[in-house]
A and B are shown apart, each in its own frame.
Chain A
Amino acid sequence: MDRDGSAVKAIESDEAVKREGINPPLWLLAEITYRCPLHCVFCYNPVDYAKQHNELSTEEWIRVLREGRAMGAAQLGLSGGEPLLRDDLEEIVAEAHKLGYYVNLITSGIGMTEARIKALKEAGLDHIQLSFQDSTKEMNDFLSSTKTFELKKRVAELIKKYDYPMVLNCVLHKLNIDHVGEILEMAEKMEADYVELANSQFYSWAFLNRDQLLPTKEQLVRAEQITDAFREKVKGKMKLFFVMPDYYSERPKKCMNGWGNVFITVQADGTVLPCHVASMLPGIEFPNVREKSMDWIWYDSPGFNKYRGDGWMKDLCKTCPEKENDLGGCRCQAYMLTGDATNADPVCSKSPYHYKLAEAVADSLKPQAQVKPIVFRTDKDSRELMKQRDALTEEHRRLFESGSLPSADNSRIGQ
């Protein structure tokens, strides 16, 4: 019935005005489960990932994919946890492919078999990004706290056999960065198309383990030199990316290419975030796809509008001639290190908190930093951290979502 056609038109034109200046999301990251067989010390999942929550069902994920695609998202990352632990992964991939996404699987490889990699190919999976912790069996197994290295090598062979592009990802930090030459040689042997050497950024679990993981300046310079030389050697065959850690930078990164500008992340339970760690930010209730449409969440929700543009900035950023380059850096890093998400990212040398980074580097060089036990990402530790959150340091308390409650001991998370 269009009894009141004029009113409908008026609403439509309001919509157009309201949406002006907001780009559609292009990248959808679906963290389809937080279950994971690995226990990586630098995991970017929230430290309270073992909170009480229910994973979205297959049908719910399919609805998320349809809504995201209709809005314009073209890249889909299927991540976790370990996405292979969802036995409906093939079904999700098939729907994503049908919708026209370029489908990326971001995996540790644990749980991959020849039958599954073949089924995923048939379902339309475009690419597999395989993570490695290090080039040596011992270090890989130590850093992920499992016996997985041989298995990952087999998965790399399967990726080539089934003709997927292969991106090898290795998170670098103090304990493995000196092996970067060996890591690159291994990648070359495996015929990787791209290699991402991403220095650990210090969020989530890596923030808890920062003293043990922050490399020295000398380590970093050496690793970059080795990578640059290798890049020349494999030119035209393999592309290498070396991501510098924020803690040795003077200029902040344009985090996520802008808040609510390109990326949209859907967590295992359907909570939608502008980036995968933003649930820790205080004072924002992020919406859930079980209650709201992706469209409303992206364009209209208070959370996605909170740090768009420069209206939220304090004078230091607002009056800065470089603000368009970096948009003030990362909101989560500002909050973690200064307690206020509207401060400039302390990576910026103009920030009065920039000294915090040098302080962290100095702390990591103290002998006592090396004897502190490293915290592995486990369900048990995540629950324990939630139980003991009030006893943690102020900085570590900031890593939690407000009100996250531990799931029952020994239960399967996400149920």
Chain B
Amino acid sequence: MSEPTISPDTVFKLAKLFRLQWEPAQNAHVLLYPEGMVKLNDSAGEIMTRVDGARTVAEIVADLEQKFETTGLLEDVTGFMEVAHGQGWIRRQGD
């Protein structure tokens, strides 16, 4: 059974085992989970804070493009979502 591909309409939420928070000492967003922690880089942090179980990938991309006054982020964001999904950090809404 192959995973359906990520489309601009896909909605993700944070997986149950994970908690996202800002850590001033590390100057970064981190994902906390049982006995572990992932430090996110700036762009990963920007994306992850927008994963809320409501916004589509396209909406997140639009928001980021507006904030950083740029275009063409869809591919990068989708690429990150694939990694994050593969790591189990995020799940499709409804899964």
User: Which residue numbers of A lie inside 8 Å of B, CB to CB?
Assistant: 24, 26, 71-72, 74-75, 77, 100, 102, 104, 126-127, 129, 165, 167, 193-194
CA distance A134 to B26 in the complex (A): 39
In the complex, the answer to whether B34 meets A74 with C-beta atoms within 8 Å is no
Q: Which residue of B lies closest to A262 (CB)?
A: B37
In the complex, the answer to whether B35 meets A75 with C-beta atoms within 8 Å is yes
| Shortest Cβ gap from A260 to chain B (Å) | 16
Q: A24-B25, A126-B19 are in contact. Are A104 and B35 (CB under 8 A)?
A: yes
Residue B62 at the A interface, CB < 8 A? Answer: no
In the complex, the answer to whether A193 meets B34 with C-beta atoms within 8 Å is yes
Residue B54 at the A interface, CB < 8 A? Answer: no
A-side contacts of B25, CB under 8 Å: 24, 71-72
B-side contacts of A100, CB under 8 Å: 21
A-side contacts of B26, CB under 8 Å: 24, 26, 72
Complex A-B: 5 CB contacts under 8 Å: A72-B23, A72-B24, A75-B37, A100-B21, A165-B33
A-side contacts of B34, CB under 8 Å: 104, 126-127, 129, 165, 167, 193-194
CA distance A104 to B36 in the complex (A): 10
CA distance A74 to B19 in the complex (A): 11
A74, A100, A127, A167 — which one has the most chain B CB atoms within 10 A of its CB?
A74
CA distance A379 to B36 in the complex (A): 32
B-side contacts of A71, CB under 8 Å: 25
CA distance A104 to B33 in the complex (A): 9
A-side contacts of B24, CB under 8 Å: 72
B-side contacts of A165, CB under 8 Å: 16-17, 33-34
A77, A102, A194 — which one has the most chain B CB atoms within 10 A of its CB?
A102
In the complex, the answer to whether A74 meets B35 with C-beta atoms within 8 Å is no
Which residues of chain B from 14 to 68 have any CB-CB distance to chain A below 8 Å in the complex? 16-17, 19, 21, 23-26, 30, 32-37
CA distance A74 to B31 in the complex (A): 10
A-side contacts of B32, CB under 8 Å: 74-75, 102, 126
B25, B30, B34 — which one has the most chain A CB atoms within 10 A of its CB?
B34
| Shortest Cβ gap from A326 to chain B (Å) | 21
In the complex, the answer to whether A26 meets B37 with C-beta atoms within 8 Å is yes
| Shortest Cβ gap from B48 to chain A (Å) | 16
B17, B24, B25 — which one has the most chain A CB atoms within 10 A of its CB?
B25
CA distance A121 to B37 in the complex (A): 21
CA distance A41 to B21 in the complex (A): 39
In the complex, the answer to whether B21 meets A193 with C-beta atoms within 8 Å is no
In the complex, the answer to whether B37 meets A74 with C-beta atoms within 8 Å is yes
CA distance A100 to B22 in the complex (A): 10
| Shortest Cβ gap from A371 to chain B (Å) | 38
A-side contacts of B16, CB under 8 Å: 165
CA distance A102 to B37 in the complex (A): 9
Q: Which residue of A lies closest to B32 (CB)?
A: A102
Pairs of residues from A and B, 9 with the lowest C-beta to C-beta distance, nearest first: A72-B25, A102-B32, A127-B34, A24-B25, A165-B17, A167-B34, A165-B34, A104-B35, A74-B23
Q: Which residue of A lies closest to B30 (CB)?
A: A74
| Shortest Cβ gap from B22 to chain A (Å) | 9
